[in-house]
Each structure stands twice: as structure tokens, then as C-alpha cells.
Amino acid sequence: MTPYTAEGILALITKLCAIPSISGHAEQENACAKLIYEELKSIPCSGGNMLDVKFIDCEGDALKRKAVYALLTPPRAAERSVLLTGHFDVVDTSCYGELQPIACDLPLLTEKLKELGGLERTAQADLESGNWLFGRGSMDMKAGLALFIAAIGKYAAQENLAVNIAFLAVPDEEANSAGMRGAMREFCTLLEEHSIKLNAALTGEPCFWTKAAGQTPATRPYYTGSTGKIMPAFLAVGQGAHIENYFAGLSSALMIANVVRAVEASAALQERTVDGVLLSPAACLSMQVRRDSYSVTLPERSAAYFNVLCVERTPLEILQICRKAATSAALETLAAVSRAARAYGKSVTLPSIDVFTVSELVQMRAAQAKITKADVMLELEQFARSVPGELDAREISLRTLEHLASSVRLINPAIIVGFVPPYYPALYNRNRTEDEMRLRGIIMETVQEAAELAGDGATSYTEVFMGISDLSFLGFQGEEAALLALKDNMPGWGVAYDLPIEQLLTLDVPVANMGPAGRDAHKDTERLELRYSLEVAPKLLLNAIDKIARN
């Protein structure tokens, strides 16, 4: 059992980080899950408290990875419940260069960096201070898990425990969140079996030292929400022609280029957080002509997909905005070809460019083949399963979309609008329910308490975490139809990607971060702030759980 002391928590952090559980390396991820399981199983209970610990097989995960679940309950039924959650996978360590072999050995790496020196100014100052521990997973986010495991041990020994404490640690957060998505159904079933309704969820994600716009000093931010992310995708279907006869065809490359112009950094897709911070603009992550070999035929198919951050907008609303962008791109394509034809002294009759959503294309396939929509969806699922499973989820989705487009008789060139994986629902505190208002108040108090305990005043509150996190899968703040628009317009659904829709629509859990503090996640200077993480954060966590427990 890990004692709830600075020394005990630090020892567990070092032990967890020593396992290089890089996302996608199933053997190491499962080794880390095993260590977490064993640490929890070693916790003795007093006063009639019960601690249930289980592995959860991540549903649909081809790598057969496991999550770890635990539930601490008092002998008398407690009315209130809190979830402590986080991930045990880490990002790749290749950025460490020649230090890669010791990137997960935190004490050794820190000492080696002291010998070598030459870090960026802030990192070097932190290194020389002796208050920071460097290494992969140190702050993102094995320190948070160590803190949670030690806290469960402390509460398990309480004679008058007054709260249910659930725990969920998952793999793959840094990649496609296969861990959280794959664990949610069984996790919710286990809670239902114990009649547990969660009143709050705390993540062990750290307070990333952040300097906000217009803010002079950096601070450790606490938040009560998580930004959403969605990936709109476009397939342009043009008309082939030999390049010697350019105006007899229509280049899908030109069509998709105009889609990128219409969507990239589009004001129509701009959103602000609840406290007025502008999210990063829509950005194209892939733009490609879809052909396997060299050809002098005008490209017949091209595709692009985008990263879009969101807070309020649902998949349905974003689909509608993207459809308008595709229509604008279609008109600009025709205008550009017309201008070029005039410049070449050509008289051309251009076809229309139709715009369809994926779900509309499914309906067209059903009507043309005289089969049901369910039949078409089964066709697409079977095709997606025939695509090599080692391919990227987005590639599987795009190939499935191309297969659908090939099965439909399109009269004109077309731009098809849909989504590719992944999707992270936005989740933030709307101050609607008693639980939301209570947790918001607790976090406000935590920020003030943290500033006093740290002695530097460098803590702050923000409505929404500006990165992506697994907290997104603890509820969907919208109507079912808006979420189903994602499913109906993501080719390869159920194979390339899946969501526990029923659980998303049922869960409504206020969230916040309550972890350690650090800097430079994902970099070769990732590091944990020791005094804050081992002395301040443990006090803040206990105080927050105790406040959540009160009726």
C-alpha cells in the first residue's frame, strides 16, 4: 500500500513512470494496468469499508488492452459519490534522442540533465532549482494516478467514510481514447450494480503552467470543463479527362483545394469558451489526391479532413456549417474553371457540382439498389472490416466513404461531407444542477486555497481545459439527434470508431481537474513540480473530496 505522504506518492510516481506505457504499445500499457491493479489490491480496509478492484477489457480494442476499475464503499450506504479518473499511457519518447533509453527513469534522467545542462531558459532554471523531476509521464499523467491511488488508501482506512469513491484508469488517451471509450459501458454497468450515481468526476490531469493571453505571469489553472473536438471530412468526386483535354473534365484536386480555402480558419467555425477565450481555428490535417499511382488523368477523387474545436456546437450544427462551406467551394471551383476557360479562349459548358452528406449518400444507395438503409450500413461495415486493420482509423473511414461513393450513381461531380474519427464531446459546467454549482464552488475555493498553500498566488480558474481529454466521455450535453448525426455521417462507424452513445446520453457528471502541477507535456523537458505536487495537491484533493461528500 502507498502511504499518503510525499515520500510514498513520489515512490509510486517513479514506479509507474518506469513502465514505458507508450500509446499503442499494448504489452507495456497492460503492464502498467497490472501495477495499478496490484497497488489497489494491496490496500487494506478498516471500519467495514469495502474496496472492489477489477480489470475492464476495453471493448472493441484490437490490441486487447485493459482499464482498471475500483470502487471504495462504506458499510452504510453513502448518498454521494466521486470518480477519480485518468490515463496511464504516455506519448512517444523519441524526442529525447540519445537520452531516450532513460526517458522513463525519472531520477536518472533528472541527474543526467543536470550533468549535460543547456536546456531552454525556463527548463534550465527549474532543473537547477531542485524542485522539478524530469521524465516521460511525470506530469502527464502518472503523478495524478499515484495521488489518486494513495488517496483511496487513506480513505479506505477511515472509520466513518461518508462517500463512495470510484476509480477508473485507462490506456490510449494520447491516441484515440480507445481506453475510455472501450471501458465506459462496463464501467457504467458496474456503477449501476452498486446503485452509484456520480456527483462529480475529478481527473488527475495536471495543472499545466500556462500563460494566458494578456496575462503577465504564468499560473497553474484549474478548470471545470473540457474542449470538444470533431473532424469534418470532405470527399471531392470530379470528372476524369486526359490533361490534354483539361476542360472536358473537372479536377477533384481543384475542388478539394477550394474546400480547404473555405474551411481552413473559417470564421463560421469559430467558437469561444464560456469565459470568452477564442478556440484555435479549424485546421486542415490532411489533403490528398486519392490515387495509388502516377497518372496523366485529372484527379477524380480527392479528400481532406480538418481539426475543429468546439464548446457549444453539436455534430449536427457543424455538419450544416461544413455543408455550406462545400457549396461555397463548389461555386468557386466552377467560377475558377470558367475564368481559366476564358483565358484559354475556350467555350465550355460546366456541370453542376452537387453537395451531399454521407447520410444522404446512404439513402441514395438504398433507393438505387432497392434495399434498406440498414442493408447499406451493413455493407459499409463489412467493407470497413475488409480494410487492413493496421491502417489509421481516418484512412479506414475515407476508404469506406470512397466505397460508398463508388456504389452510388452520381450524375454530376460532387462534394460529400461527413466526419472521420475521433470525436470528443465538449463538456463544461453550465451551472444548471446542484452538483454543477457545488463543484464549481469547490474549485473556486480550491484555487484560492492552492494560491495560499503554494505561497506564490500562481493559481487560476478557467472554464474549459483548452486541450483534449477523456473527460469528454462522461456525458453529452445535447440531444440524441445531434449525436446520431455523427454516427450516421462517419463512414466505418463500429469498425474504425465507436462511441458508447447510450452511456453518453445517460451520464451527466460535473468534472474538474485535481492533479499535480508541471510543465512541457509531450516534450523532452516534461517535468513535475515537486513541492506543489507532493505537498499542496494532496491536501487540495482530500479537501475537495470531503466537500463533495457533504450533503
Where does the pLDDT of residue 274 fall: very low under 50, low under 70, confident under 90, or very high at 90 and above? confident
The pLDDT value given to residue 58: 98
Cis status, amide bond into 377, omega within 30 of 0: no
pTM over cut 0.75: yes
Share of residues in the chain with pLDDT > 90 (%): 95
The values of phi and psi at residue 303, to 5°, are: -140, 155
Question: Structurally, what CATH architecture does the domain formed by 6-226+426-478+498-549 represent?
Answer: 3-Layer(aba) Sandwich (3.40)
Handedness of CA 227, 548, 45, 197 (dihedral sign): negative
Handedness of CA 391, 392, 395, 400 (dihedral sign): positive
The pLDDT value given to residue 215: 55
**Which amino acid appears at position 172 of this protein?**
D
Average pLDDT, the chain: 96
Question: Distance (Å, rounded) from C-alpha 385 to C-alpha 518?
Answer: 42
Yes or no: say if 209 and 518 are a contact pair by the CB < 8 Å rule: yes
CATH class of 228-419: alpha beta
Mean pLDDT, range 147-170, rounded to an integer? 98
Mean pLDDT, range 88-106, rounded to an integer? 98
CB neighbour list of residue 318: distance below 8 Å, 6 or more residues apart: 230, 232, 269, 308, 310
The pLDDT value given to residue 217: 83
Mean pLDDT, range 413-436, rounded to an integer? 96
Where does the pLDDT of residue 195 fall: very low under 50, low under 70, confident under 90, or very high at 90 and above? very high
Domain ranges of the chain: 6-226+426-478+498-549, 228-419
Question: Cα separations (Å) of 218 from 277, 453, 456, 518?
Answer: 16, 17, 11, 12
* DSSP code, position 153: H
The pLDDT value given to residue 293: 94
Mean pLDDT, range 502-523, rounded to an integer? 96
The values of phi and psi at residue 344, to 5°, are: -95, 5
Mean pLDDT, range 209-215, rounded to an integer? 71
Yes or no: say if 113 and 195 are a contact pair by the CB < 8 Å rule: no
